[in-house]
Amino acid sequence: MLWSVIAVAAALVQAAAPLEPADGKIFLGAWYDRNNSDTPNAINQRFNYKPLSFFQTDIDMSGVKWWTAPEVVLPQFRQQLKDTKTDAFAMLTVYPFGGFDAITEKQLADMATGLNNLVNDGHQVFFRFASEMNGSWFQYGQDPIGFVNAWRKFVTYWRNALGPNASKVAFIWSPNSGNGYPFLKQEFSFNVSATDAKSLANFKALDTNGDGVYDKLDDPYTPFYPGDDYVDWVGISIYHYGSVYNDNFASWIDNVIPDSSKFEKFLNGFPAQGNDYGYAPLYTYFSSPTGVKDPLTGAVLSKGGKPMIISETAATYHFAWKDPVGKPTPVPDTVDTFTRLQIKQAWWRSFLNTEFLAKYPQIKAASTFEFIKAEEATWRDFTMFGAAPDTQGGPSFAALDNDVVQGFAKDVQNMTFLAFANVVGNATITKTTSGAVSTASVTGIVMALGAFFLSL
């Protein structure tokens, strides 16, 4: 009987990924606009409810973009997290803009030091490396063999270098949602005509159905999956840009309320409208007990069951042309339609509700995308927690964004499934007090049960 109890407890240890909260709880965080002088503390103040569970920022560990180099970003990030006076997690989105082969051992070691510093400060870490690797807008994209090899090598290195802090860092594998895949009209789209050995090997990996064509019917996720042993959490990027892509302006431009099922269709595919939502079910593959097998060989690619984070999400509001010359004024379909609040509220309500989360119980965290920036032909407001302190647009613009954050603050009071950070002051509080399952706590149960049964 003793060994049965220990086996059950050991299974619990294995089942709980690093940083995974208790069943029924979800961490809520925000990717803040560091370059526009926003801060975690400013977001908490605008929210004016409870401190968010985590804050996300980005780093280019390859050194190509010096202003996002680790030595520039991490000291600032550490101080900004300290300023919140909470035990909020740090979420790092780490880009290898110089390519996988350009990463040096010193850069790996420096990153490990940065991770240890954050953990020692009292902030556990979500680590999202080379995100959206299935896309074609980053130099490292659509290179499944290079990505998988790099991921396995780097994650193994960092886990070893973290030592006792390894259980406080969760490595997140996070592709883009499959709608629009294989994204063949982007800057770094895979060259289907290439005949070099690397390209031919990648083509074979990308052609998941083996029909000799790389197209929308190929799986957007499985070629890039490093394997269950190398992944702690699975993530995804999901956005609402509008209802119809405008070919005349080569851009999304319309401000419409998203359909209540849109988020779910992006998350798990919707083959009946695969061109719009994607064909492959990411959640089913990697977070449900179903898992996924290679359709050609039958080999198990994932056993599933991974906790999932919505790594970045937002409903956009188009408010101006990027280049107004020769364009109608104002932006088409943005006047007398829907407000920022109506659009964004419909989006968060579509997945932050008990019915949706009961259907997808492995969704354990979500991060909003707190940016106002130009993309394609329009300026877009992605924010949910209000405009950054010095954002462009003037008082009336800030007021419109304030309506959004106040609307969310009102809705969130009924979201009892959300977990928030602890205020720590001078104390050291682990995230276990907020409902996370730690290896140490379950190990203690095992030891106690063992001692009890040995005494019988």
Domain boundaries defined on the chain: 25-421
What integer pLDDT is reported at residue 441 of this predicted model? 35
What integer pLDDT is reported at residue 199 of this predicted model? 98
What integer pLDDT is reported at residue 167 of this predicted model? 98
C-alpha closest to that of 308 among 15, 58, 20, 16: 20
What integer pLDDT is reported at residue 336 of this predicted model? 57
Rounded to two decimals, the pTM is 0.89
Tokens of 82: 């300290």
pLDDT of 36-82, one tens digit each?
889 999 999 999 999 999 999 999 999 899 999 999 999 999 999 99
Q: Which CATH number fits domain 25-421: 3.30.930.10, 3.90.180.10, 3.30.70.260, 3.20.20.80?
A: 3.20.20.80
pLDDT of 374-391, one tens digit each?
999 999 999 999 987 655
CB 33 within 8 A of CB 75: no
What integer pLDDT is reported at residue 421 of this predicted model? 98
What integer pLDDT is reported at residue 213 of this predicted model? 98
Residues designated as active site: 132, 312
What integer pLDDT is reported at residue 15 of this predicted model? 60
Per-residue pLDDT 10s for the chain (456 aa) are: 434 433 433 344 446 899 999 999 999 999 999 988 899 999 999 999 999 999 999 999 998 999 999 999 999 999 999 999 999 999 999 999 999 999 999 999 999 999 999 999 999 999 999 999 999 999 999 999 999 999 999 999 999 999 999 999 999 999 999 999 999 988 999 999 999 999 999 999 999 999 999 999 999 999 999 999 999 999 999 999 999 899 999 999 999 999 999 999 999 999 999 989 999 999 999 999 999 999 999 999 999 999 999 999 999 999 889 998 888 877 765 555 799 999 999 999 999 999 999 999 999 999 999 999 999 999 999 999 998 765 555 545 676 788 999 999 999 999 999 999 999 965 333 333 333 333 333 333 333 333 333 333
What integer pLDDT is reported at residue 335 of this predicted model? 56
